[in-house]
Amino acid sequence: MLKSSPSLLLILALLGLPLTVSASTAVPSVAAPATALAVPEELTPFGNGWNLRGSGVLRFFGFKAYDAHLWQLPGNAEFSYARPFALDIRYDMNIKGSDIVNTSLIELSRITPTPPEQLGRWSTLLGTIFTDVKPGDRLVGLHLPGRGVRFFLNGRLRGESADTVFSEAFFKIWLDPATKRPELRARLLGQAAAPTAVAQ
């Protein structure tokens, strides 16, 4: 039987791969977190009035991976890549940076067909941004239409890219209809259950 760890389980779950588990092991599930949230301070320079569109908790095989929150600026009620938004991930598990990079590349290339040369450039970019994370760490990815993407870890800028194609491809891992986690996507987009309360 395959020996599992939280990090390994994360990779298998995100990729939709099977894993032999005991009958008592919980199945993957997504639930909405209940605590009030404050808007990440790193978003303030990019606009006023950020609001929470939706939230979800990714759990699988008895392990909680992270809370995820989708922030957006006021505007049209429909979600659009033509408007700034931020994906706010708050980890509850130790995950290696290399695992985040590899899983991201596999998923974004599955959803968005990508030439090998371009995928190689994106791999290099992701490798400079993602580091090992631990419970309590917070990663914020900010999509800026026409300007690309910025990544913040625990409030500090980790990296950025002006590649708008990469920005959309990266966030489609969670937000595209083809995502491996449709339940989480529905919660992030506010299509399932009420959103988490925002601290005033």
| Domains of the chain, residue spans | 6-11+27-188
pLDDT at 35: 55
Q: How many residues does the structure list for the chain?
A: 200
Using CA atoms, how far apart are residues 160 and 59, in angstroms rounded to an integer? Answer: 29
CATH architecture of residue range(s) 6-11+27-188: 3-Layer(bba) Sandwich (3.50)
Alpha carbon distances (Å) from 94 to 116, 128, 171, 181:
30, 19, 22, 20
Per-residue pLDDT of the chain (200 residues; tens, 9 = 90+): 334 444 544 444 444 333 322 222 233 444 444 457 899 999 999 999 999 999 999 987 778 999 999 999 988 788 999 999 999 999 999 999 999 999 999 999 999 999 999 999 999 999 999 999 999 999 999 999 999 999 999 999 999 999 999 999 999 999 999 999 999 999 999 997 544 544 43
pLDDT at 200: 36
Tokens of 92: 């509850």
Using CA atoms, how far apart are residues 23 and 14, in angstroms rounded to an integer? Answer: 21
Reading across the β-sheet that carries 29-31, which strands appear in turn? 29-31, 51-60, 63-72, 85-91, 138-144, 148-153, 156-161
pLDDT at 75: 83
> Which residues touch 31 (CB under 8 Å, ≥6 apart)?
56, 57, 59
Q: Whole-prediction pTM value?
A: 0.80
Please say whether the dihedral angle defined by the alpha carbons of residues 67, 111, 7 and 29, taken in this order, is positive or negative.
Answer: positive
pLDDT at 62: 75
